[in-house]
A and B are shown apart, each in its own frame.
Chain A
Amino acid sequence: MSGKGNYNGKGAKMILAKTGNEAMAYAMKQINPDVVAAYPITPSTEIVQLFSNYVSDGEVDTEFVAVESEHSAMTACIGAAACGCRVMTATASQGLALMHEMLFIAAGLRLPIVMAVASRSLSSPLNIHGDHSDSLASRDSGWMQFFCETVQEGYDTLIQAVKIAEKANLPALVAIDGFILSHCQERIETLDDQAVRDFLGVRQPQYNLLDWRNPILVGPATLQDYYFEFKRGEIEGMNQTLPIIQAVQEEFGKRFGRTYPALEEYRCEDAEAVLLLMGSACGTCRVAVDRMRAQGKKVGMVKLRVYRPLVWQLLKESLSKFKRIGVLDRADAVNSYGGPLFTEVTSVLYDLKEKPQVYSYVYGLGGKEFSPDDAIAVYEQVLSGKKDELVTYVGVR
């Protein structure tokens, strides 16, 4: 199993220039999973391509399975994970959509598969650029979902996700915004190979399909008598994930000096308006907040890093402090009562006695640019409280 590896002493702690995809592939190399089954798709192609180089160069012990589709990729991952292996893959957009039915099976079997996603819009019309439509459409599949702001965060989160998934016995998806992060170079601090492997240890599977001394049946037919009971257990598994995520964060922070709370407030003290969002645009909003604060305007940003589990406890605690909140979705729920994150946030706030004003914005679909000026315009509107439309589509002509 993982952890042994033919560790060659390379890959010490370094400062490197890496794109998001390079960083994800590098993290996978350091994790040294037992099995990777994947199929290439823009913008995540490089993750798998670069990882396959590590396989060819003998830098990992991974069994690499080149499959004929994403559906098969996830199927192979499920089979390997059921046999006790540490398993990873990567995909995006239509690829994640093609995996859709298998996502539920991975979660239902409680298999800790970890997947890097370079977020991308869904066809039609065809578009290869970044938005969150792919992951958000997989919301109810039972996977944990992490959205990263930077390449560094993507690298760190992918490593953490392996530990979180294995403790929770649930699969996890780590999303970096397509092109914005996947193809842009950043200065990142990498960890030592051995430090990563020590941090993760060896997977201790709940069950092992290949243990012939203790035969089990995996994925049985359960009818009206047992299906709901198994599902109830899976739901409880997800309910228990937040403390696991926080504990792994804390341990990662202690060892390596970097932490990422599930929900982060940026310059929110005395803020009259905040924006809540996920992914790389959080960085954009930090710039906008700094500029507006310099002009004496009281604005802040709330970054949501964990979309599943829905950290409603943290959302309620944080957002109840503010009068005006804009929720920015990088995906649309097509005629829902606001964007996908917006509807969940308003549900969370429903039982507050004094409810804040919450406004829905959808931005950046298909990679449409979302600049600090765009963010400032949204802040100004949220501050003014003058918004007639239910959903405002930022920057749409």
Chain B
Amino acid sequence: MAKLKGWRELPCGAIITDMAAVKENKTGAWRSKRPVWDKEKCKQCLMCWIYCPDSSIMVKEGKVIGINYEYCKGCGNCASICPAKAITMEKERK
């Protein structure tokens, strides 16, 4: 783990400039329900991508290719907004 910075070294305002730190901190373990994406039903409208608060909808060349479960917290916004009902929320089982 990197050495913790002192207050004088921090940027003005509660901001994080080192986006790598955000990537390192995997938050997907918080999830109790997972969105499951149905490729067949998906109309590629990208509404889920717009509404996802955590960039967890993976998009390649303008098309949804899946969901990044390393960061998805299971809020369900994508399932709720999807006009084609291509995303359903399923219980996490372990």
| A interface residues with partner B (beta carbon < 8 Å) | 108-111, 169, 206-207, 214-220, 222, 225-226, 228-230, 232-233, 236-237
Contact A218–B14 (Cβ < 8 Å) = yes
B87 CB to closest chain A CB, in angstroms? 26
Candidates A215, A230, A236; contact of B14 at CB < 8 Å: A230
Given A230-B7, A232-B7, A233-B7, A169:B12 Cβ within 8 A: yes
Q: Is B62 an interface residue (CB 8 A)?
A: no
A109 to B10, CA, bound (A): 12
Of B5, B13, B16, which is in contact with the most chain A CB atoms at under 10 Å from its CB?
B13
Interface string of B5-41 (1 = CB under 8 A from A): 1111011111111010010000000000000000000
B14 CB to closest chain A CB, in angstroms? 5
Contact A217–B12 (Cβ < 8 Å) = no
A206 to B11, CA, bound (A): 9
How many residue pairs, one in A and one in B, have C-beta atoms under 8 Å apart?
57
Closest B residue, CB atoms, query A228: B7
Given A229-B6, A229-B7, A232-B7, A206:B14 Cβ within 8 A: no
| B interface residues with partner A (beta carbon < 8 Å) | 4-8, 10-17, 19, 22
A85 CB to closest chain B CB, in angstroms? 15
Candidates B4, B13, B19, B22; contact of A206 at CB < 8 Å: B13
Interface SS, A side = loop
Residues of A within 8 A of B4 (CB): 225-226
Residues of B within 8 A of A169 (CB): 12-13
A217 to B6, CA, bound (A): 19
Contact B16–A230 (Cβ < 8 Å) = no
A230 to B15, CA, bound (A): 9
Contact B19–A109 (Cβ < 8 Å) = no
Given A225-B4, A226-B4, A233:B17 Cβ within 8 A: no
* 16 A-B contacts (beta carbon < 8 Å): A108-B13, A110-B12, A110-B13, A110-B14, A111-B13, A169-B12, A206-B11, A206-B13, A207-B15, A215-B19, A216-B15, A216-B16, A217-B19, A226-B4, A229-B10, A232-B7
A392 to B15, CA, bound (A): 46
Residues of B within 8 A of A214 (CB): 17
Residues of A within 8 A of B7 (CB): 228-230, 232-233, 236
A229 to B7, CA, bound (A): 4
Residues of A within 8 A of B12 (CB): 110, 169, 206-207, 233, 237
Residues of B within 8 A of A222 (CB): 14
A236 to B6, CA, bound (A): 13
Of all A-B residue pairs in the complex, the 8 with the closest CB atoms, nearest first, are A110-B13, A217-B16, A232-B7, A229-B7, A109-B13, A206-B12, A216-B15, A230-B14
Residues of A within 8 A of B14 (CB): 108-110, 218-220, 222, 230
Residues of B within 8 A of A220 (CB): 14-16, 22
Residues of A within 8 A of B17 (CB): 214, 216
Candidates A207, A215, A229; contact of B5 at CB < 8 Å: A229
Residues of A within 8 A of B10 (CB): 226, 229-230, 233
Residues of A within 8 A of B5 (CB): 226, 229
A248 CB to closest chain B CB, in angstroms? 19
A111 to B15, CA, bound (A): 12
A206 CB to closest chain B CB, in angstroms? 5
A222 CB to closest chain B CB, in angstroms? 7
A87 CB to closest chain B CB, in angstroms? 14
Contact A207–B13 (Cβ < 8 Å) = yes
A92 to B89, CA, bound (A): 44
A220 to B17, CA, bound (A): 11
A215 to B11, CA, bound (A): 14
A96 to B19, CA, bound (A): 35
A111 to B7, CA, bound (A): 18
A218 to B4, CA, bound (A): 19
A232 to B5, CA, bound (A): 12
